[in-house]
Chain A
Amino acid sequence: MRKLLFRFIGTLGYFFQYGCVLHCTFEYLGDFVLCSGPSMEPTIYSDDILFTEHISTLSQTINKGDIVIAKCPTNPRQQICKRVVALQGEKIKTGFASYEVVPIGHVWLQGDNTTNSTDSRHFGPVPIGLIRSKAVCKVWPPKSIAMLNDS
Chain B
Amino acid sequence: MKIPSFFKSIFFGIPIGITFVDSVGYIARVDGISMQPALNPDKKTPDYVFLNRLAVRSYEIKRGDIVSLISPKNPSQKIIKRVVGIQGDIIKTLSYKENIVQIPEGHFWIEGDHTGHSMDSNNFGPVSLGLVTAKACCIVWPPSRWQFIENFLPASRIPLNRNPRRFAKNT
Q: What is the interface of chain A, defined by CB distance below 8 A to chain B?
A: 16-17, 19-21, 23-24, 27-28, 60, 71-77, 103-106, 126-130
Q: Which of B73, B127, B128, B129 has the most CB of A within 10 A?
A: B128
Q: Which of A16, A74, A77, A105 contacts B75 (CB 8 A)?
A: A105
Q: Which of B22, B69, B71 contacts A105 (CB 8 A)?
A: B71
For chain B, the count of residues having a C-beta within 8 Å of the partner chain is 29
Residue of A nearest to B74 (CB): A105
Contact with A along B120-162 (1 / 0, CB 8 A): 0000100111111000000000000000000000000000000
If A75-B106, A127-B128 are given as contacts, then 6 extra A-B residue pairs at C-beta distance below 8 Å, sorted by A number, are A17-B15, A20-B18, A27-B18, A71-B130, A74-B107, A105-B72
- The binding surface of chain B is classed by DSSP as mixed
Do A130 and B22 form a contact, CB below 8 Å, given A20-B16, A73-B106?
A: no
Taking the closest CB of chain B, its distance from the CB of A80, in whole angstroms, is: 11
Residues of B within 8 A of A23 (CB): 15, 18-19, 22-23
Chain B residues in contact with chain A, CB under 8 A? 11-12, 14-16, 18-19, 22-23, 59, 69-76, 104-107, 124, 127-132
Within 8 Å CB of B131, what residues of A?
127, 129-130
4 closest Cβ contacts across the A-B interface? A129-B70, A71-B130, A76-B130, A74-B106
A72 to B130, alpha carbons, bound, how many Å?
8
Q: Assess whether B105 is in contact with A20, with CB atoms less than 8 Å apart.
A: no
What residues of chain A lie closer than 8 Å to B12, measured between beta carbons?
A: 17, 20-21
Contacts A72-B106, A127-B128, A130-B131 given; does A24 touch B19 at CB 8 Å: yes
Q: Given the interface contacts A17-B16, A24-B19, A76-B128, does A128 sit within 8 Å of B75 by beta carbon?
A: yes
Q: Is A76 in contact with B15, judged by CB distance below 8 angstroms?
A: no
B56 to chain A, nearest CB (A): 10
Write out the residue numbers on chain B whose beta carbons fall within 8 Å of the beta carbon of A105.
71-75
Q: Which A residues are in CB contact (< 8 Å) with B76?
A: 60
- A74 near B104 (CB under 8 angstroms)? yes
Q: From the candidates A16, A17, A76, name the one contacting B106 in the complex (CB within 8 A).
A: A76
**Most chain B CB neighbours (cut-off 10 Å) among A16, A17, A76, A126:** A76
User: B23 — which chain A residues lie within 8 A by C-beta?
Assistant: 23
Question: Which one, B73, B75, B129, contacts A60 given CB within 8 A?
Answer: B75
Among A17, A21, A73, A129, point to the contact of B107 (Cβ < 8 A).
A73
